[in-house]
Structures are given as C-alpha cells and as structure tokens.
Structure 1
Amino acid sequence: MSAPSTPVPHLPPTPTPAAATPPPAGAPAAKVRPTGRRLDWRLRFAVLSVIWGFSFLLIKVGTEAYAPFQVALGRVFFGALALLTVLLIRREPLPRGRRTWAHLTVAALLLNTAPFSLFAYAELSIPSSLAGICNATSPLWGMALSLVALSEDRPTRRRVAGLGLGFLGVLTVLGAWQGFSGLDAKGTALALLAALCYPIGWIYVRRTLASTPGSPVALTGAQLLVSTLQLAVVSALFTSAPTSFPLWPTLSVIALGALGTGMALQMQYGLVTEIGPTTAQMVTYFIPVIATTAGVLLLDEQLHWNTPVGAVVVLAGAALTQTRRR
C-alpha cells in the first residue's frame, strides 16, 4: 500500500500496501459467500496490518541482492501468480475488451509499476521505516488532488484542516527546522512520489473502470499481469540478469508478492465485504507503526524522536481527511 496496489472504489484511501498496495481496479467489491467457519475479522485485520507493515522491510532486504526494478518485477509477478491461481480455482475468467485492458494498462502503471519501483529505489538510501511513513501520506495527496480532480467530493473545513495537519507531520518527520539534515533528499522524494502515484491512479480508476464488469480479483489479477509485462520490459532494458539468487532476498521478494500483494488483497476484499470499507481502510494507520517497529528491531534502523511524533501527526491528519458529510 507498500501500500495496497488498488483501491476500494469510493475511497481515496490506502494503502494500500505499499504499500501498499488496496482493492482493485475500481470495481465494486464482489459479494463473498461465507464458506465454512472463518477467522474473526479482528484477527484477519491484524494479520493484514502486519503483512503490509512488513512490506517495506521486505523491499529493503530484496534490494540487497536485486536491482529495484527486479524487486518490483518479482513483487507483481508473484502477486499476479497468487491471484491467477485463485481465479483458476474459481474458474473465473479475466476481463475482456480492448478498452478495459487499455485502462488496466494505465492503472497498472500508476498503481503498481511506478510506485513499486519508486519505493524500491527510495529504500536504497532511506530506512524502511521512513518509506512506510511516506506511504501514509497517500490519503493526504488524495485529498489535495480531490480539490481539483473530483468535483463531487467537496472538501469540508475538517478535511482541509486534516490536510494541513498531515503535511505539518511530514515536515516534522523530515526535521524541517534543522534543514532536513541527516536525510537523503532524493530517496525521500522518491518515496513521497510513490505515495502520490496511488491517489492519481485511484482517480483514474474511479473515472474509467468503476462500472467495469468482473470481480475485484479478476480485475486486479489482470492489472498485476499487465504490470508484470511492463516491468519485465523495463528490467530487460535497464538492468542485467542476476547472477545469483541469495536465499533471504529471494524469499523476501516472493513473500512481498505472494503475501503482500496477493494474499493481502484477498484478505482486504473479505474485510470490505464483512465490515465495510470505512473500517477496513483503517488498516492504513497501522502500517507505518508496524513498518517503523520492524525496521528498528530487525534492521537496526535509527529512530529519532521527530520520526514517531511526526508519524502520529501525519496519521491524525490523514484520518481527518477521510471524514465525510453524513
């Protein structure tokens, strides 16, 4: 969301993980028939938060052995493989129509290919915890864009206040009062640009694919399949094939795709259906907390006081931007 890769239709939301990725190419969430006994939604919510929160650590480990484009390629490939397997089991076809696939090509670029690559490049020079916090600015960018791009989504005073508060939190995280010293400006800018890609993609999806027939799994599987082709071409042009496949970086990329982009989206669909999109999207606010904790405890990343304080302010601002008139 990194946030989720695609959004719940009427949200300007997540994460989705990187990171994070989010539900699919604008399609309405499919109704899921309960089959047998299911885990309590709170437990699934917690697991989803952990999966997407750890995505930034997995990206960091993956870039230790693979080029950023290759990490992004592995992510969408294994994510697509997971969702296509689900479609095969369900005997559900991929979307049809040239126009649909043309829109999915743009959606894949904006919601997968570009942000996944940008986050991977960013984490070459910034901590995974900072990347996770930058991902949390996605709702703020979405609010700012909605002022000019979505006329039906008029801002309220509370949401505008949330926008201002959120960007104040970003400045706190970056240590603006000390001249942004100690931070890699390029890496931070790339992570913020990755977070900006998501709301741009969501706006595009909302306007072009909102009424497209097909389940969220089929649309998102197709979108990841297109992104895999895009990144395969880019990787072939700008990187050389890896000469070895170290265990932990390889497992990290596989987990990033199969769990963080495949299984996590499946869990998100179930949560949206069971508890509604408003509650389900609250997973966004746990991701930077988990990403920061994982980075500090497992990667020995340094944490200064302004990082958690600023992150709290960012999340408070993001929460305010999600409030709507009744």
Structure 2
Amino acid sequence: MGLTVMMFTALGLCWGSNFIYMKLAADFTSPAQMTLLRVCCGFVPLVLVAWWRGALKRAQLRLLPHFLVMALLATAFYYFAIAKGTERLPSAVAGVLGGTIALFTTLASLVFLRSQRPSTAMLWGVLLGFAGVVVLIAPWQDGAAPLDKQGVFWMLGAAALFGGSYVYVCRFLAPHGLPALALVTWQMGLALVLLLLVTDTSGMGELLVHPRALAGVTFGLGFLGTGMAFLLYYALLERLGAVASAAATYLTPAVALVIGWANGEVVGPRELAAAGVILLGIALMQQGRDRSKVR
C-alpha cells in the first residue's frame, strides 16, 4: 500500500509540474520545438519498457492507421496546443485548465458512446466543472488584467481533443484488446516521426546556453512528465483499476497552483475557488459514473 501511495503521489507531481517546465522554456524555444523534445524524451523510457515486456507485436501493424490518428491528434497536436496555451498563460492557470480533460472525456463519452448512460450526478458534475472554468476566466472582470483568450482557447481545445481521443480508442482500438502500453508507445513513436518531418529546428541550440530550461523540457517535461508518468499511470492501472488511477488527475491543478505560486505567480482567491469548483465537479462526475456502473 505504501508503494502505491508513493506512485500515486509521484504521478500527480509529474503531471502537475509539467506546466512550469513549459513556462520556463517558452522564452528560448518555440511550442513546436518544445513538443518535439518532449515527445522524443518521453518516447525513450516507453519504448524500452514496452520492448522489455514484449508489448510490441508485428501483428499490431494492421492497426497503423488508427495509431497515426492517435499520434497526430492525441499526442503531437495535443502537446503542441498545451505548449501554446502555457506560453500565453501563467503556469498555475494552465495547470487548472489542463485539469479539465476529465470533464471533456466524460462529455465526449456521453455524446458519442451509446453505452454511456448519463446519471444526474454526472451531468451536474460536468456543469459544475465548466462553471469553475468560467470562474477562472472571469469574463465579467473590468480593470484587472484579463487572461489571454488565445491561451485559454489553446488549453481548452487541447483538453477537448484529448477527451475526444478516448471515444476514438473505445470505438476503434479497444475491441482489439491492445495493451495500453503498446498503444501509447506506438502513438508516441509515430508522433515523433511526424514532428521530425514538420518541425523547424532552427534556433534550438539556444536551449544549450540555458541549462535550466534545457533540463526542464528534456528531463522534467519529457522523461519524467511524459514517459515516466505514462509508466506510473499504467502501473497504477494494474494495481488499482481505471477509476482509482484516474483520481491522480485531481492532483494536477493543485500541484500546478502550488508550483506557480512558489515561482512568483499570482494565485489568489479566484484561482483557488475555480480549481476547487472544477475538482468538485470532477469528483461529483466520477461518483455518478461509479453509481451508474453499480446499477
């Protein structure tokens, strides 16, 4: 049990700290270059563990078109959108908005998957979660510096895209009984190839003279925050199941808020209230899903 708690905490820290790594590197590299480095460094531990465990099979090549879709939408473009949004927003705010993935995943499931029957608690949870987003954006505020609208759009768009990818997996990949480790390794490797083909790498050497930013984006964001985070998540899946493992997403906004505050960002009552409302919505939504499964 102690090891499980440590893994759970480590996963929350990995996910929640990703936003400050992106923020620190944003001044020295473009979002596309940051995405390339992140995917490259995250792919390394995944492919090594997948090879060691024998998760990759030649027969899986028949699913290559689906892997390409996931690589493009749920990896390459998703990470690029996150980088674009974090570049324009405080890392704490980006972390809170990044925590809405659970809301979009549930919303997409209810709309596109016939097997998902919405309960009253799930619907209220989704509404409450998005109310928290409105509180965070605070469009009614006058005088105070507003959040960058494009940054908010990129973050919510990324969360919606990732949430929609869950539906794609359920429809086209889940029926094949593919191990989760194999899926994420394929999509990460193909995303790396796509990014190598389209990313302008000129000027990336600027990171070499900024070792803190370089270490953050390669080791922190890539190796730990992407590769190792995926491995921790799948290890928790085996130990606890999907519902309990997904609860690690609750830690992401809280960790991002604390790290952002420690880094000098303004974290006031509005940010804290918004994060609390979003997390309450996710918890209510999850409770409704659990009850519907029992029935």
Question: Normalising to structure 2: TM-score of the pair?
Answer: 0.91
Q: CA deviation at 1:63?
A: 1.7
Cα distance change, pair 142–217 in 1 and its aligned pair in 2 (3 A): closer
2:188 paired with 1:188: no
Percent of residue pairs identical: 30
Greater shift after overlay, 90-99 or 119-128? 90-99
- What code does the residue aligned with 1:243 have? G
Structure-2 separation of matches of 1:162 and 1:303: 24
Q: CA deviation at 1:220?
A: 1.3
Structure-2 separation of matches of 1:40 and 1:98: 35
2:161 paired with 1:197: yes
* Contact 1:133 1:288 (8 Å CA) reproduced: yes
Alignment match, 2:16: 53
Structure-2 separation of matches of 1:195 and 1:276: 22
Larger RCO of the pair (alpha carbons < 8 Å, separation 6+): 2
2:60 paired with 1:111: no
Q: How many residues align?
A: 286
More helix by share: 2
SS at match of 1:186: helix
Q: For 1:96-175, list aligned pairs within 5 A.
A: 96-175=59-138
Q: CA deviation at 1:219?
A: 2.2
* Contact 1:94 1:219 (8 Å CA) reproduced: no
Select 2:232's aligned residue among 245, 267, 271. 267
* Contact 2:55 2:181 (8 Å CA) reproduced: no
Alignment match, 1:287: 252
Give structure 1 regions of 4+ aligned residues with deviation exceeding 4 angstroms: none
* Contact 2:260 2:267 (8 Å CA) reproduced: no
SS at match of 1:178: coil
Greater shift after overlay, 286-295 or 140-149? 140-149
SS at match of 1:210: helix
* Contact 1:49 1:290 (8 Å CA) reproduced: yes
* Contact 1:95 1:222 (8 Å CA) reproduced: no
- What code does the residue aligned with 1:211 have? P
Cα distance change, pair 48–98 in 1 and its aligned pair in 2 (3 A): closer
Q: CA deviation at 1:83?
A: 1.1
Cα distance change, pair 215–310 in 1 and its aligned pair in 2 (3 A): same
Structure-1 separation of matches of 2:205 and 2:229: 30
Structure-1 separation of matches of 2:10 and 2:55: 27
Q: CA deviation at 1:191?
A: 0.8
Q: CA deviation at 1:77?
A: 0.8
Q: CA deviation at 1:161?
A: 0.8
Question: Normalising to structure 1: TM-score of the pair?
Answer: 0.83
- What code does the residue aligned with 2:234 have? Y
Q: State the Cα deviation string for residues 90-115 of structure 1 (Å, max 9, x = none).
A: 45535535441110110112211111
For structure 2, list consecutive stretches of 5 or more residues without a partner in the other structure.
Answer: none
Alignment match, 2:37: 74
